[in-house]
Amino acid sequence: MFEVLIDQFWSLTLAGISLGFIYVLVSLGYTMVYGVLRMINFANSEIFMWGTFGTIITSRDIFGYTQTSAPATGGKLALVLISQLIMSMAVAGLTAIFVEYVAYRRLRAKGTNRLATLISAIGISIVLSELMRLLTDSRPVGSPRVLEKIILTEVWGANIRLDTIVTIFAAALIYFLLERFVQLSRMGKAIRAVSMNEDAAKLMGVNLNRVITTTFLVGGLATGAAAFFYITVFEYSKFNIGFTMGMAAFTAAVLGGIGNIRGAFYGGLFLGLLEVYASAVLGTQWKAVTVFIVLVLVLLFKPNGLFGEAVQTTRA
Amino acid sequence: MKKRIQISLAIATALAITLTGCSSSDDAAENTFTIAYQGPLSGGEASTGTDEQNAVKYAIELFMEANPEYTIELVSVDDQGDPAVASTVAPGTAANEKILGIVGPAYSGATIASLPFYKDGGLVMISPSATRVSITDPATPDFGGPVFHRVVGKDDKQGPALAKYATDGVANAKVFVVDDQSSYAVPLREYVEAGLKSVAGASLVGGDSVINTATDYAPTIAKIKTSGANVVIYTGYYSAAAIFVKQLRDSGSKAVFAGGDGVFNQEFPKLAGAAAEDSRITGVGGLAGISADLEADFQEKMGVSSGVYSVESFDAANILLEGIKAGNTTRETMLAWVKAYEGTSVSGNTIKFDENGDISYGLFAGFTTKDGVLVNTGIIK
């Protein structure tokens, strides 16, 4: 039962960490919005999906890569990857702002109850995914390989691959930058102020609408970055990939304590590792079962997630 | 705004009534007949349904060109390939008395969900791609007789063919089989594993079951490496197969990658790129494999290339169209016509259904990826 885990431990661990970092960034999209609005942004999964297409379009249509062209090298490689990252973040960020304008802002101004915005968010996520379905004729879209998946070295029997390393370090860096932004910048402070007490923040002169738009933007940027890494690793997208990713990232956010940026970090990594270990030990068909049993157990003992509401100051 | 909608609806209804009124008095209307296509036309599996329906449309177009006195109408029934959706659209299809026969449903699960309604309506079905064995097995509750027929081979023929093709020429083949948890892939995996027993020198070393929405195959690949497998057979569909084979190759594995007709789609090498090279896929030859002229004509008329199950869909539509031409213009006579049908497939095989609705042939061809295209290597014997 454990022979695969023992035999391939470091390969699995690396795969789990890189998957985990993708979860971390997507779950930021959920956790940021929840922290400020106390509402789940159900459209975040589709924001992610749109980001993946932004990444693919950059390499395929702007730089003209095809499935058969050779991967980029040197300066060109850096240029293409950074353009893809920027494009993906821009597409996802703008989609997030669009979602906020259409599904949240007006209803919020009218003072509707939370369920109305919940439905409008689900509605816009269906619109986003069906629109992409129509644009792509329901077909899956492969991404040309830009970053060659060279095996750099072998450590303890595990292949250390370039794309895994890039994903882990770049995603960690982006997470760190976003976290610092929320902690240190003036806007970040405003976001946290609104999160702690909306009315008090308003009385202190915080522009609520701008804070909320920025929150959506930051969540969207993180999700867009995740979409870029996802494409770099898996090289594949389809109009319906958002659902599975959204489910996983939302689970990660709840596991870590939704509304808490650090919670998203630990929740994402924990989930990534849990998924690969559970699949290796019990069989992939047990992955979802194991993940949700663990989630229920965690919530049973820590109802607010691993980091929950206890860490007020780090909350988004 | 509301008023305007109401007015336009009223006009549309009036027009519709006038038009139907006109056409029923028209001479041509006596030669207007309706058949249906059922399959996934929207949702995640829509490409299969669209490909099949295009072949049906093509058959209708050729028929109307050759027989200008007939007008054939096609009703598109979209079941999204999903049994739950099928059970909501099938009653309406069964109740539409104009429909003389159905090409489809495309998928086995949707077929089983639709069956009770079509049995009640006495509506004959010819599926181009529902391969689950139980549908033509009278001993199971899924049995589709007397209305169900198919012009595609069953999975109990495909499984052993796939096992044989995947291990062909591999000395001391150690096989690892992966399914995608779908009702198509799980039984096919069982038939593959059963078929492996009769392949000399081959042994089954492991397996895994990965849901088809997954994109991370790292745990499965870890298992493959631990098992020491040199042949990996995937029984799910092409889009997941493409993700899987890429990750398998990126991990440094050189094992033979093989798949069933779910992987049989030219999108597979397009999605997987170089990783798909030399993959071994069982499938059914397309129109292009039969004649380049036929494919060229198809492309000209339909504006796209022929896709998966185009031969089967084309054959199925032709059986119904020939039936209409032979004067079988009620559901009852059409069902009898199909049951007694004997004709030639565009592939050259003789189509004749046995008492459970299966055709006599159903040989699977082996395909391998060469330079990004699936190339037919001939029937697997």
> What's the gap in Å between the CA of B118 and the closest CA on chain A?
28
**Up-side HSE of residue B340: CA atoms within 13 Å toward CB?**
10
Answer yes or no: do A145 and B273 touch at CB < 8 A.
Answer: yes
Residue that has been written with the tokens 């006038």 in this structure: B18
Which residues in chain B have their CB less than 8 angstroms from residue A285's CB? 181, 208-211
- Tell me the backbone φ, ψ of residue A174, rounded to 5 degrees: -65, -40
Question: Start-end ranges of CATH 3.40.50.2300 in chain B?
Answer: 33-152+290-348, 156-283+364-379
Report the phi/psi class of residue B273: left, alpha or beta, with left for phi > 0 and alpha for psi in -120 to 50. Answer: left
The whole-angstrom separation of Cα A17 and Cα A25 is: 12
Question: Looking at residue B9, what is its pLDDT?
Answer: 54
How far apart are the C-alpha atoms of A31 and B120, rounded to whole Å? 53
Distance between B217 CA and the closest CA of chain A, angstroms: 9
Contacts of B228 in chain A (CB under 8 A): none
- Closest residue, chain B, to A239 (C-alpha): B44
Mutate: best of A3, A4, A143, partner B, most B CBs <10 A? A4
CB contacts of B42 in chain A (<8 Å) are: 133, 138
Selection from A65, A61, A55, A59 nearest residue A86 by Cα: A55
Q: Which domain holds residue A227?
A: 3-314
Burial tier of A31 (Cβ tally within 10 Å: 0-12, 13-18, 19+): buried
Strand partners, B204: B175
* Distance separating alpha carbons of residues A316 and A192, to the nearest angstrom: 5
Would you state the pLDDT for residue B14? 52
State both tokens at A282. 């019990």
Question: Which of A14, A138, A164, A274 is the best substitution to test chain B (most B C-beta atoms within 10 A)?
Answer: A138
Segments of chain A with pLDDT less than 50: 310-316
Residues of chain B with pLDDT under 50: 1, 17-27
Q: Is there a contact between B226 and A3 if contact means CB atoms under 8 Å apart?
A: yes
Residues of A whose CB is below 8 A from B209:
283-285
CATH code: domain of residue A283: 1.10.3470
Q: Do B219 and A244 touch (CB under 8 A)?
A: no
Q: What is the pLDDT of residue B48?
A: 84
Q: Cβ separation of B213 and A159 shorter than 8 Å?
A: no
C-alpha pair distances (Å), A32 with each of A35, A62, A217, A219: 5, 32, 10, 6
B328 vs B351: CA distance, rounded Å: 19
What count of CB pairs under 8 Å joins A to B? 119
Residue B218 and residue A138: Cβ atoms within 8 Å? no
**Interface contact B46-A144, CB threshold 8 A:** no
A interface with B, Cβ–Cβ below 8 Å: 3-4, 7-8, 11-12, 15-16, 19, 67-68, 133, 137-142, 144-145, 149, 151, 159, 161, 230, 234-236, 238-241, 243-244, 275-276, 279-280, 283-285, 287-288
Q: Are B325 and B100 in contact (CB under 8 A)?
A: no
Q: How many domains does chain A have?
A: 1
CB pair distance less than 8 Å for B270 and A4: no
Give the CA angle between residues B122, B123, B125 to the nearest 5°: 130
CATH architecture of B33-152+290-348: 3-Layer(aba) Sandwich (3.40)
CATH of domain B156-283+364-379: 3.40.50.2300
pLDDT at A303: 83
Closest CA to A51 of A16, A15, A18, A98: A98
